[in-house]
Structure 1
Amino acid sequence: MTAPTRTSSWRLLMANPVTVVSVALLVVIAFVAVTANWIAPYGINDVDVPNALRPPSGAHWFGTDELGRDVFSRVLVATQASMRVAVISVAFAVVVGVTVGVVSGYRGGWLDTVFMRVVDVMFAFPVLLLALAVVAILGPGVTTTILAIGIVYTPIFARVARASTMSVRVEPFVSVSRSMGTGHLYILGRHIVPNIAGPLVVQTSLSLAFAILSEAALSFLGLGIQPPQPSLGRMIFDSQGFVTLAWWMAVFPGAAIFVAVLAFNLLGDGLRDVLDPKQRTMIEARRAK
């Protein structure tokens, strides 16, 4: 992608107000993920029973839970934990899935058959069920949660990378490079991967959203991040017995999940509109009228 094309893509992306809002939200979330331990006004496990179940106020912006712990501080640190799990697990899925997909799509033959049958088997299981099976085998915890989510999203990237690679490998510039005796690694790194980056970037954004949901679901079931480390899913689980007494215990962790997932999904939609040639042509045509 040339510099003018990158500039044009950036302008199209920023021309969409919904995408701009999603980027702004993600900047805030990224800031929280980096600085949560420093900006949290209270310790995440500071118990203050006399002030338990206090509603939102100037002292406790999001109120307090059943033990008097500050919900705002716990939401900040829990968001940091969710983002860390999501980013690392999706990065794992990208590295493994793209490697498998690119090699499979480029080489074809029996290697493609073997890789894709394994991917098909993994696709046969619902995402959350497969993640639960991995955690049940390896035991709950942060590392296991990251590994489980990374494993269940690897087939998605493998499929996307394989389909894109199969369409690029038949392009004339790849055939010419191959006829000149260029090595396979050079072709993959110079011609294949850069030309399939668009769909992978979009899929990464969408997968980050679903990774956050998966981490929250596992923590809600007690199989994700373990106490005393706060997690958004676990905070919602703990609030079940206090819904009528302290609505804020469930609302604010749930709102944090909602905002993060919505921001990543909206960004993914915006990136798809810019990076997909068909969608981009339609947008440019509408703007030209």
Structure 2
Amino acid sequence: MTTTDSARVSSWRLLLRNPVTAVSALILLAVAVIAVSANAIAPQGVNDVDVPNALRPPSGGHWFGTDELGRDVLSRVLVATQASMRIAVVSVAFAVVVGVTVGVLAGYRGGWLDTVLMRVVDVMFAFPVLLLALAVVAILGPGVTTTILAIGIVYTPIFARVARASTLGVRTEPYVAVSRAMGTPDHMILRRHILPNIAGPLIVQTSLSLAFAILSEAALSFLGLGIQPPQPSLGRMIFDSQGFVTMAWWMAVFPGAAIVVIVLAFNLLGDGLRDVLDPKQRTIAEARRAQR
């Protein structure tokens, strides 16, 4: 086994030995399965109206109860989770591609390009996340595509800053200087040396950004600017439950619980990844394991 393979195995062992991280990973694996197969495993149609059975509490026939129109809450939570995960993944992927490109170029090139790109990023950072997302949706109109674009734009500056800071640290390393002296093209240096060595912080930031993307989508849908009816959304389900909280608590509790569990799992997984991928945090974690 090579040194790289040994380090990779050690990283996985350290990650899985943390019970909180392991449980978080299992939860997210289950969420991923739901996101892929929600329509197949949903016990009923998400828009099957059954007014005589409206506002029924959780039971054997409806595990999560029914809403004001008699629709099965479990089915709607499953499909809404699928929609939220799809929006979060696509929007964060957009932010990663654009943000990392901007950050790596700014950090590697430096000079006027760094100044211009980072000033644009600073201007975007001046606006609160949700306010900027609301502005984008207000301009382009509500909908799934607009929600994805709004969340992607909001989180692009975060990845740009993380990528730039990491690139500034890597570009001064001796192996980068040697590659430059040998006449290696910049795109080869970026692909072989820069990107692999800044992947750790970006992976951690991706996990954390997915959590906040879920929250952002729920907030936009709650305000009526995200996913539009009749397609279910966790945020919209919570909004619709406001008038029935005292008589049908399950309408708000189960969608809210889904948001909390997914966001918490992403955050805890991000903390675990940071302990493994950050050399300083990894040393501390290994020292703690050795003391036990």
Partner of 2:196: 194
Deviation of the 1:286 alpha carbon: 1.9
Which of these residues, 56, 68, 88, is aligned with residue 58 of structure 2?
56
What aligned pairs does 1:1-289 form with structure 2 within 5 A after superposition? Answer: 2-289=4-291
Q: Partners of 1:288 and 1:262 in 2: how far apart? A: 28
Q: Partners of 1:285 and 1:146 in 2: how far apart? A: 42
Q: CA RMSD in A?
A: 0.6
Q: Partners of 2:10 and 2:105 in 1: how far apart? A: 31
Aligned AA (1:118):
V
Gaps in structure 1 of 5+ consecutive residues: none
Q: Partners of 1:134 and 1:189 in 2: how far apart? A: 33
Give 3-state SS (helix, strand or coil) of 2:195's partner: helix
Q: Partners of 2:287 and 2:18 in 1: how far apart? A: 15
Give 4+ residue runs of structure 1 displaced > 6 Å after superposition. Answer: none
Taking structure 1 as the reference length, the TM-score comes to 0.99
Aligned AA (2:261):
V
Give 3-state SS (helix, strand or coil) of 1:181's partner: coil
Give 3-state SS (helix, strand or coil) of 1:60's partner: coil
The number of equivalent residue pairs is: 289
Aligned AA (1:239):
S
Deviation of the 1:288 alpha carbon: 2.1
Aligned AA (2:145):
T
Deviation of the 1:35 alpha carbon: 0.3
Taking structure 2 as the reference length, the TM-score comes to 0.98
Deviation of the 1:283 alpha carbon: 1.3
Q: Partners of 2:111 and 2:139 in 1: how far apart? A: 34
Per-residue CA deviation, residues 13-39 of structure 1 (Å, 9 max, x unaligned), is: 001000010001001100100000000
Give 3-state SS (helix, strand or coil) of 2:93's partner: helix
Gaps in structure 2 of 5+ consecutive residues: none
Deviation of the 1:96 alpha carbon: 0.2
Q: Partners of 2:261 and 2:32 in 1: how far apart? A: 13
Aligned AA (1:200):
L
Q: Partners of 1:51 and 1:286 in 2: how far apart? A: 55
Deviation of the 1:257 alpha carbon: 0.2
Give 3-state SS (helix, strand or coil) of 1:150's partner: helix
Give 3-state SS (helix, strand or coil) of 1:223's partner: coil
Aligned AA (1:180):
M
Q: Partners of 1:76 and 1:59 in 2: how far apart? A: 16
Deviation of the 1:234 alpha carbon: 0.1
